[in-house]
Structure 1
Amino acid sequence: MPEQLSFDLPAKPVLGRDDFFVSPENAMAVAMIDAADRWPNGKLILSGPSGAGKTHLTHVWAATNDARIVSAADLPSLEIPALAQHPIAVEDVPEISADADAQQALFHLHNLILSQGHQLLMTGQGAPNHWSLSLPDLQSRIDGTTHIALLAPDDTLLAAVLAKLFADRQITPKPDVIPFLLSRMDRSFRAAEDIVSRLDKAALSRHHTLSRRLASELLGGSGAV
């Protein structure tokens, strides 16, 4: 029987405050996002691996504080004085480590926005002192910013992440699917994103319910994602 034609439709993330699962691994980050008015010097760095919840918490903060979210790589094409009129979140700062124009733009945004009493949230993977920004004045300001890291997930948090990723795709897996995945998948957020995407595509193409049997077939009996 030929496989059903499937369409790779993007998932629609749910990014509300009530949709973020709080665990001991991320409780400090959530507390800091909720208390933005008490950030030292009005700025904060939120770091963590891909899929750890940086984007989710950034959107929570932006919605609460009427802030704009921009990519660090886009800064050279934006009007920095206009941006500095409101709270701003700058995502993926380490990605501009080799982009002198973007670093200069972020440096000016940093100084302008804080001088006007607004808040600045910056995000990226890895510890900020390892972002290796080539503009010394910018790196020194990064080093002087309060830093909160989202940690790798435990089973409780990873199960919640899997459940949310399935919900974002409007999928309701059978009750034994998530425990089965937890016992076999890599312990990372990226692995959770990958396996949910692959299971979604497999269920669509085979016209099957998302079951433990389908998950086992997809894993190929290797026990790894």
Structure 2
Amino acid sequence: MAEQLTFPLHLRSAQGREDFFIAPANALALTTLDSPPSWPLGRMILIGPEGAGKTHLAAIWADEHGAALRRARDLTEEMAPELVAQGAAVIEDAEAVAQSLDHQRALFHLHNLMQAEGGQLLLTARTPPRDWGMTLPDLISRMEATATVRISPPDDALLSAVLVKLFADRQLTVPPNLIAWLVTRMDRSLATARKLVAALDRQALAQRRAITQRLAAEVLDSLD
């Protein structure tokens, strides 16, 4: 059977609180982000592996606190007054500031201005600040003094819930037993879950096949 041509669709994942699944791996992070007044000096770094849910948590926090949300690689010093004016900001992938001294200066300026104005600053990163590779001494000292909270790798319950959510985001129907089957065979990573569901969607459409255990086995083999 000839494969059907497929075209990439820009799917928007659900990012609200109602779509966030609470599990032991992320419960502490959620509780911490729900209590900004407890953050020392109004700062917090959310640390976790790729695909662990940092972006989702940050989006929830930004929405509920009216915070501006920017990626570290896009930061400039000129942005700081605008971000501080909102009273709260989220900087994602904060370790990326190490790629440029200008980005480090921008984060340093934002940090100081936000603290001076009594605002709140949330950063996300895969690793602790000591591993970012920063070279600006003043920023290093401030980041290493900032409180951190971690999201742990997903357990079975969280991985299952995320797979269900990813299939639902794409409006895909799968057999009831497929989720448990996938969880026992895939890499234990939410990033892998995203890649797997995207690949299943793509192959099912291209081959005009239903998403079954057999197709899932083929896709898992192709991801190895």
TM-score (structure 2 length as normaliser): 0.94
2:14 maps to: 14
| 8 Å Cα contact 2:77-2:107 kept in structure 1 | no
Gaps of 5+ in 2: none
List per-residue Cα deviations over 1:57-82 (Å, max 9, x = no partner): 11100111011101111112743222
Shift of 1:85: 1.3
1:82 maps to: 82
RMSD: 1.5
Gaps of 5+ in 1: none
In the alignment, does 2:59 pair up with 1:59?
yes
Residue 77 and residue 10 in structure 1: after superposition, are their counterparts in 2 closer, same or farther (change >3 A)?
farther
Q: Secondary structure at the match of 2:76?
A: helix
Letter in 2 for 1:188: S
Shift of 1:131: 1.4
Distance in 2 (alpha carbons) for counterparts of 1:55 and 1:219: 25
TM-score (structure 1 length as normaliser): 0.94
List per-residue Cα deviations over 1:191-211 (Å, max 9, x = no partner): 111111110101111111212
1:181 maps to: 182
2:45 maps to: 45
Distance in 2 (alpha carbons) for counterparts of 1:117 and 1:15: 27
Letter in 1 for 2:195: D
Distance in 2 (alpha carbons) for counterparts of 1:219 and 1:120: 39
Shift of 1:98: 2.6
Identity %: 45
Q: Secondary structure at the match of 2:3?
A: coil
What is the 5 A alignment of 1:27-38?
27-38=27-38
Q: Secondary structure at the match of 1:45?
A: strand
Residues paired across the two proteins, number: 223
